[in-house]
Amino acid sequence: MTELPDRRLLLVHAHPDDESINNGATMARYAAEGARVTVVTCTLGERGEVIPAELRHLAGAALGAHRLGELTAAMAELGVTDFRLLGGAGRYGDSGMMGLPDNDDPACFWQADVDEAAAVLVPVILEVRPQVVVAYDDNGGYGHPDHIQAHRVALRAVELAAEAGWTVPKVYFNRVPRSVAEAAFARLQSELPGLPFAKSAAVDDVPGVVPDERITTEIDGTAYATAKAAAMRAHATQIEVAPGERHFALSNELAQPLFTTEYYELVRGDAGDGDGPETDLFAGLRTETDGVA
């Protein structure tokens, strides 16, 4: 455990549901341990595909409003009370998948000026004063325009916040080690006949898979597996969690493993002391002055 008395974690995500898939166990663990966990979601996911037939009438603003309700329910499952939409509901619209005409909508997040959007995030950083920020890599994990833009905005906001008085000590990217993903998918193949999904996704369908040596940090969220699965299940328009809470599928109906140990790559700041991967995002931070510009 870190010696830091007041831990504050900020996570930046593109759409409702991304936070629970990527960081649900991490957030539940830190919230339970008394850390302040803040989630900033950049869009409402108004262009997401809807899984349940009874909800497929939802589109545009109506879908966005429904997904905000799903986000609220998911955060309750994780014990996170501080979750916000970048600039407020509707400030930035969902951009759709890469290469679609939706990307050209002037109101979509992909078309936002990075400095202007980052300036909207800076006051949150200055208010929360996080010692740790979690974001996507420069490909957004898997190439979605809103994920790429969330990466750009998060890292630019960290730079601007430093100029305004708060330097974030540690910045991480969401990751999955390739060996872990490959082993999980190998197990999935043998378990697939008992799942409500006909086919499996592939390792490279998982965002953020990298060679094992890139992993700097492992957060064991096993004790919060049920909370993470419940949070994912709350995003019913986007996710179907299989019975047993070890697998899930998105709208493509391809089964994926549900990871309860979550992995990160430290990209700014110093790793904690000790050999091997960190087991705490706050490792190495010991005083409240860590982060003062």
Q: CA torsion, points 169, 171, 177, 181, in degrees to nearest 10? A: 130
66 is in an annotated binding site: no
Q: Are 118 and 10 contacting, i.e. CB atoms less than 8 angstroms apart?
A: no
Count each helix (H run) and each strand (E run) in the chain, helices first: 6, 12
Phi, psi of 75, rounded to the nearest 5 degrees? -65, -35
Please check if 147 is assigned to a binding site. yes
Q: Is 17 annotated as a binding residue?
A: no
Alpha-carbon torsion (266, 226, 62, 37), positive or negative: negative
- Rounded Cα–Cα distance for residues 131 and 167 (Å): 8
Nearest Cα residue to 19 out of 257, 231, 168, 249:
231
Residue type at 35?
Answer: A
Sign (positive or negative) of CA dihedral 197, 201, 206, 212: positive
Q: Which residues line the annotated binding site?
A: 15, 18, 147
Q: Which residues line the annotated binding site for Zn(2+)?
A: 15, 18, 147
